[in-house]
Structure 1
Amino acid sequence: MDIATLAGLLFGIVVILTAIMATSGIEIFINVPGLLMVIGGTFAATLIKFPFEQVKGAFKVAGQAFTKREEKLETLIDQATNLCMTVRKGGLLALEDAPVDNPFFQKGLQLCADGNPGDFIRDVLNREMEQSAERHHVGQDIWRAIGESAPAFGMIGTLVGLVQMLVNLDDPSQLGPGMALALLTTLYGALFANLVALPIADKLAIRSTQELVANSLIVEAVVGIQQGANPRVLHEMLEAYLPSRERSEYAPQGSRASSGES
């Protein structure tokens, strides 16, 4: 669970509700026709822009903004170093029973155990990385499109409300509902875009970047393991994927890894 995403969303909702209730009741900010116009119009525009299967997939992948945890690069480096030492002792077939949870890492190790050359393994894994990145970009594009459409339909609702108000100038009882629709649809569109859709798109982009870095590290680790690299050399090479500050903090672990290699 990504606490930051959930906490940010809840905090934003609480702040807005608190500001509203400090000066008036929440009920005056509820307008069902306005909500239908913004949410329904945004969803309809999204279906026009993208295939239904991609839209459905984007709503599923949105859960990664709340639940998916970042892969620890230090853990991957330690696993790769240990596996490298295992291969030097027991050969590539020892990788078939390697205790690795990452599916991408598992696939690379299985390719090694099957006796494939390093160049072939690199090509297969890089191709899978590219396909995964493409799927991630589609999800991000859909949520950004939602974030762009919601304020636009809020403005459309504003125009509809103004038309209703102007047409009924001779009936004072209709001025209030028309003005409420005009203002609230803009509010709904701005809130949904800036508190939900666009933040989810940005978080998915961060998740995609994190996964790309982790998978790039895995590719280099798997190829190094297949080629029988020295565990200490492999460990130092993979440390390049760590930020400089974390790399200096992680140095003692690297020293322990190198000292364990005989």
Structure 2
Amino acid sequence: MKKNDHLTLIGMILGIVLIFIAIVIGGSFAGAKIFFSVSSLLTVVGGLIASLMVNFKTNELKEAISAVKTTFKREEQNISELVEMFIELSTIARREGLLALDGKIEELDDPFIKKGILLTVDGLEADAIKEILVAELYAIEERQKIGRNVIDKAGEIAPAWGMVGTLIGLILMLQNLDDPKTIGPSMALALITTFYGSVLANLFFIPLAGKLQNKTDYDLYIKQIMIEGILGVQSGQNPKLLQEKLEVFIDKEVEKQSETPTSVNEEVLTDV
């Protein structure tokens, strides 16, 4: 079930507000105007966009935009309900045979589970089903990694373009050293681009990349549970045993949140 994730937007707005308050407290409301520079913003944002266009393909940039949109949504999966569904499918398979599951396929909402049950009804062996579903996990991970890589790179490049803007400002300032009164304001203006680059990287791009990584880890974890359930149904496993096996994931989910993320090839092939 997808719901709006207001925490992402709240965090960004809160960061901007707190930075603004810090500026006002450290100076004055009128003095805060110096932090708004169109030329500095154009240097950082324009340079950042140009670098990303050089570094990535058009489809990768589009994937990044789609990935950012997903950070404002959260997909919740009730593992208990997932376990109950597989127990029901397992019971039907044991009582009436695997072909009886054909009538339940249209009732399944998740495409991944639907694909697994279709393969089961088609009579594929457990190893073949596992191989196909794990390949699907690889595809999901790689697809999500594309967008995340763009956001990661933006987090790397933004501070660098801030420094480029600062260097431009310093060069322009050094051309007017004959007027000492302009040195202070010119130096402040030169440093604003570094400020913009750091804020963009640390308040937007790096946190967004982290959130996308967490989303990928969670998606893969849920699909590992699905693979366990599908293989249990295919093998005609006793529903009680399958229930005990899948319920381990309910307790394990809390532990997973504190563990170092692992990729599909490290975890799926050992857990599934």
Shared fold, TM over 0.5 = yes
Structure 1 residue ranges without an equivalent (≥5): 248-262
Q: Does 1:90 align with 2:96?
A: yes
Write the distance in 1 (CA, Å) between the matches of 2:111 and 2:93: 19
Aligned to 2:57: 51
Q: Give the alignment partner of residue 118 of structure 2, picking from 105, 110, 115.
A: 110
Bigger mean CA offset, 109-118 vs 31-40: 109-118
Q: Partner letter of residue 86 of structure 2?
A: A
* Post-superposition offset of 1:210: 0.5
Write the distance in 2 (CA, Å) between the matches of 1:42 and 1:146: 7
Aligned to 2:225: 217
Q: Does 1:185 align with 2:201?
A: no
Q: Partner letter of residue 200 of structure 1?
A: L
Q: Partner letter of residue 87 of structure 1?
A: A
Write the distance in 1 (CA, Å) between the matches of 2:78 and 2:185: 53
Q: Partner letter of residue 94 of structure 1?
A: A
C-alpha distance after superposition, 1:13-41 (max 9, x if no partner): 22122223443244321111111111111
Aligned to 2:251: 243
Percent identical residues: 38
Q: Does 1:129 align with 2:137?
A: yes
Question: Are the counterparts in 1 of residues 48 and 154 from structure 2 also a CA contact under 8 Å?
Answer: yes
Aligned to 1:256: none
Q: CA RMSD in A?
A: 2.1
Q: Secondary structure of 1:68's partner? A: strand
Question: Are the counterparts in 1 of residues 44 and 158 from structure 2 also a CA contact under 8 Å?
Answer: yes
* Post-superposition offset of 1:165: 0.7
Matches for 1:94-173 after TM superposition, within 5 Å: 94-96=100-102, 97-98=104-105, 99-171=107-179
Bigger mean CA offset, 145-154 vs 3-12: 3-12
Q: Give the alignment partner of residue 9 of structure 2, picking from 6, 10, 32.
A: 6
Q: Partner letter of residue 13 of structure 1?
A: I
Question: Are the counterparts in 1 of residues 66 and 147 from structure 2 also a CA contact under 8 Å?
Answer: no
Q: Give the alignment partner of residue 44 of structure 2, picking from 38, 44, 54.
A: 38
Structure 2 residue ranges without an equivalent (≥5): 256-272
- Corresponding residue pairs, total: 247
Write the distance in 1 (CA, Å) between the matches of 2:157 and 2:111: 36
Q: Calculate the TM-score normalised by the size of structure 1.
A: 0.86
* Post-superposition offset of 1:115: 2.3
Q: Calculate the TM-score normalised by the size of structure 2.
A: 0.83
Question: Are the counterparts in 1 of residues 68 and 208 from structure 2 also a CA contact under 8 Å?
Answer: yes
Q: Does 1:24 align with 2:29?
A: yes
* Post-superposition offset of 1:174: 5.6
C-alpha distance after superposition, 1:151-196 (max 9, x if no partner): 0100111111111111122356864663343111011100000011
* Post-superposition offset of 1:146: 0.3
* Post-superposition offset of 1:246: 6.3
C-alpha distance after superposition, 1:116-165 (max 9, x if no partner): 22211111100010111112222222111100100010011111111111
Q: Secondary structure of 1:63's partner? A: helix
Question: Are the counterparts in 2 of residues 87 and 228 from structure 1 also a CA contact under 8 Å?
Answer: yes
Aligned to 1:72: 78
Residues 212 and 13 of structure 1: is their aligned pair in 2 closer, same or farther, counting only changes over 3 Å?
Answer: same
Q: Partner letter of residue 29 of structure 2?
A: S
Aligned to 2:236: 228
